[in-house]
Structure 1
Amino acid sequence: MKLTVFGATGGIGQEIVRQALESGHEVTAVVRDPAKLPMADDRLEVFRADLTDPEPLRPAVAGRDAVLSGLGPHGRADAGVAARTTRTVLGAMEAEGVRRLVVVSAGPVGPEPKDGPLDRFARGIASKVLKDVFDDLRAMEAELVRSSTDWTSVRPPRLTNQPATRAYRSVVGGFPTKGRLIGRADVAHAMLAAVDDPGMSKQGVGVAY
């Protein structure tokens, strides 16, 4: 497949690019600073852009089978970046007629799992501390719903840097019970797996160990 990856220099974005290339896909990585993407491959195109205007992004998504996005806030100071940049990506995709989009969001944005009281308490604390971040991601998902794309929002809990295990759980429209952690590499794997899964179209998908 021909894939475009936004947020390609982030922890999840780099994993998406690496795993997609390992699987034989052609990848266009959209980045602000190419020096932050330490990869080289005959099937990798690095496309420099700042994500402020959909028009310059159109060549990056034209003719692609799917777009994947690791865009999102790194913390409370970045709140607002997910909705803003995703709106720009959607504008470019809709202008080019590209429909499939897979993004990363966060577990607390989706429905609450049927966990025990301790898990619900911890989730509630995280939602309060990172309220601005989760509000941004909710606004991003609202942009997806309003768009004409066949979107999927992958919603992980707390992220780690452990190597891919492929032993995570996925729940379409919900979240894995007692799911507390997942590695960025496994989130990337879940996002790539969602690309050609029609059952995940226009759905949020909770992922966790």
Structure 2
Amino acid sequence: MHSFHYCDGQLHCEDVDLARVAQEFGTPLYIYSAGTILDHYRRLDAALTPLDHLICYAVKANSNRAILSLFAKEGAGFDIVSGGELFRVLAAGGDPAECTFAGVGKSREEIEHALTRRIYSFNVESEAELDYIDQIAASKDARAPVALRVNPDVDVATHEYISTGKSENKFGIALDHAAAVYERASKMRNIDIVGVQMHIGS
């Protein structure tokens, strides 16, 4: 479903005349269709119904509180990359237990806060970050749920500046080293492994 259409020669979003919106609020402005957003989410959710799944909306794509609230009310999870994004998700009614925390620059304060809020998982970007999260969790007498980000060495033939899944890219744990890191993580007293994560490009 796509909710942008013309009616009597005027562009509408759902049943709203966008010319009138422009007259009232001025331009430029952004218009989003809740109907279209929810339709696309529900289609993906339905396609995955046979599987135990959680769809996590990437907050960095658009952190508008109204949009986050739409997803929260639908029961979606959220993929965050900062403490600020976690704050926005919580303010929009999102469940921290359905948030995955990605990103290579997590600070101690952000990790501690995310542990306190009991997020679903940290996407661990490197072996050094695994050690860092383990140490912080130990200091809080907590166990940190983690998914190890593995670099699959896959070339998706995209622009070189947004490629993240080739061996020469700086992101993730090298594929040939991942099993050893996974085994090591499984023996850490303050780490719970909940998955494996991959990302091959933006």
TM over 0.5: no
Which one has more relative contact order, counting CA pairs under 8 Å at least 6 apart? 1
When normalised by structure 2's length, the TM-score is: 0.35
When normalised by structure 1's length, the TM-score is: 0.34
